[in-house]
Structure 1
Amino acid sequence: MKKIDIQEVIVVEGKDDTANLRRFYNVDTYETRGSAIDEEDLERIERLHNLRGVIVFTDPDYNGERIRKIIMNAIPTVRHAFLNRDEAKPGSKTKGRSLGVEHASFEDLQKALSKVTQHFDDEDNFDITQADLIRWGFITASDSRKRREYLGNQLRIGYSNGKQLLKRLRLFGVTKAEVEECMEGYEG
Structure 2
Amino acid sequence: MKIKEVIVVEGKDDTVAIKRAVDADTIETNGSAVNKSVLAQIELAQKRRGVIILTDPDYPGERIRRIVSQHVPACKHAFLPKEEAISKNKDDLGVENATPEAIRQALIHAKQEDDHHLEIVSWQDLHAAGLIAGPSAKKRRERLGVLLHIGYANGKQLHKRLQTFRITAEEFSEAVKRVFEEEK
Q: TM-score, normalised by structure 1?
A: 0.91
Unmatched tracts of structure 1, length 5 or more: none
- One-letter code of the match for 1:113? L
Mapped to 1, the partners of 2:122 and 2:176 lie a distance apart of 16
Partner of 2:50: 53
Task: Give the distance between the partners of 2:76 and 2:107, measured in 1 at CA.
Answer: 10
The one-letter amino acid paired with 1:148 is: R
Asked if structure 1 preserves the Cα contact closer than 8 Å seen for 2:84 and 2:98, the reply is yes
Residue 108 (1) aligns with residue 102 (2): yes
| CA–CA distance in structure 1, aligned partners of residues 22 and 131 of structure 2 | 37
Q: Are 1:7 and 2:1 matched, yes or no? A: no
| Secondary structure of 1:183 counterpart | helix
Q: CA RMSD in A?
A: 1.4
In the alignment, the residues of structure 2 paired with residue 6 and residue 52 of structure 1 have an alpha-carbon distance, to the nearest angstrom, of: 10
Letter in structure 2 aligned against 1:87 = E
Give the 3 Å change call, closer, same or farther, for CA 14–115 of structure 1 in structure 2.
Answer: same
Q: Which residue of 2 aligns with 1:73?
A: 70
Paired residue for 1:180? 173
Q: Deviations over 1:38-63 (max 9, x none)?
A: 22221211011111111101010111
Runs of 4 or more, structure 1, over 2 Å off, are 120-124
Identify unmatched segments of 5+ residues in structure 2: none
Cα deviation, residue 122, structure 1: 4.1
Normalising by structure 2, we get a TM-score of 0.93
Q: Alpha-carbon deviations, 1:162-184, whole Å to 9, x = none? A: 12211111010011111110122
Distance 1:185 1:162 in 2: 19
State the identity as a percent.
45
Number of aligned residue pairs: give it.
Answer: 181
Match of 2:81 among 79, 84, 99: 84
Aligned mate of 1:98, from 81, 92, 106: 92
- Partner amino acid, structure 2, of 1:123: H
Which structure's residues are more often strand, by fraction?
1
